[in-house]
């Protein structure tokens, strides 16, 4: 398990994990960008509130992605069943 130093909103953090350094840095950059988006839209916000709002934005993206994936999977299953019915 390695340690990687990342910077989010000017603060340095040491992250320990089994993922590659490249992957952890990619995640940190993503979080940093989300935090900056919140700061740009609400300049006087506290770091804690910015972190919570950024987390909610990330969670929203994740849930929308999962919902889209479920819809695609359901559509593929429906199409597969319809095509399979043609061979019966």
Q: What percent of the chain has a predicted confidence (pLDDT) above 90?
A: 89
* Sign of the alpha-carbon dihedral angle for 49, 50, 53, 58: negative
69: pLDDT strictly greater than 90: yes
What are the CA-CA distances from residue 42 to residues 10, 13, 74, 86 (Å)?
Answer: 17, 24, 39, 57
What count of other Cβ atoms lies within 10 Å of the Cβ of residue 44?
Answer: 6
Per-residue pLDDT band at 64 (split at 50, 70, 90): very high
Q: In angstroms, what is the C-alpha Rg of the chain?
A: 20
């Amino acid at each position: 398990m390695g340690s990687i130093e990342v910077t989010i909103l000017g603060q340095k953090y040491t992250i320990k994990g089994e993922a590659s350094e490249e992957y952890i840095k990619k995640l940190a950059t993503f979080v940093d960008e989300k935090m900056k988006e919140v700061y740009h839209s609400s300049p006087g916000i506290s770091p804690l509130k910015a972190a919570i709002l950024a987390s909610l934005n990330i969670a929203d993206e994740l849930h929308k992605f999962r919902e889209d994936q479920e819809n695609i999977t359901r559509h593929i299953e429906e199409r597969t069943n319809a095509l399979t019915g043609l061979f019966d």
